[in-house]
Amino acid sequence: MKKTKATKKSVAPVKEATGNETLRGRTSRVTTVVEARIDVGQGNAVFIRGGGGGLSWDQGQPLSCVDSGRWLWSSAGVDSGVPFKLLLNDERWMAGPDRVIQPGERLEIAPTF
């Protein structure tokens, strides 16, 4: 039986993922989050409308109520800056200009209606 000499292979270090890597030419999806810090009272809800990332200016999407003063919207479909506004009960627009969120960003706001 003939013995073979073991060879050492060099291994490239593993690179930590940042969420913006490409896979076969496609950008990996990252989660984009809007967090509204507001107590809107029992029976009320916060909605979001916008231009892009699955949002529409014509009909709002409800944010998820985390607790009495925290509401969340998230999407993995944001691939460029998305202008948006929050609404109380999908009827009353938040005060001020449109906000813009970037892919992978987590934006915390305290809206006034």
Fold of 28-107: Immunoglobulin-like (2.60.40)
Structure confidence by residue, pLDDT tens digits, 45-76: 999 999 999 999 999 999 999 999 999 999 99
Structure confidence by residue, pLDDT tens digits, 16-48: 444 444 434 455 579 999 999 999 999 999 999
Q: Residue 23 belongs to what H/E stretch?
A: strand 22-23
Q: What is the pTM of this model?
A: 0.75
108 vs 12: which has the higher pLDDT? 108
- Distance in angstroms (rounded) separating the CA atoms of residues 44 and 22: 41
CA 12 to chain centre: 32
Taking a C-beta distance cutoff of 8 angstroms, is the pair 57, 68 a contact? no
- Distance in angstroms (rounded) separating the CA atoms of residues 28 and 21: 6
Average pLDDT over residues 80-94: 98
Q: What residue segments make up the domains of the chain, in order of their start?
A: 28-107
pLDDT of residue 11 exceeding 50, the answer is: no
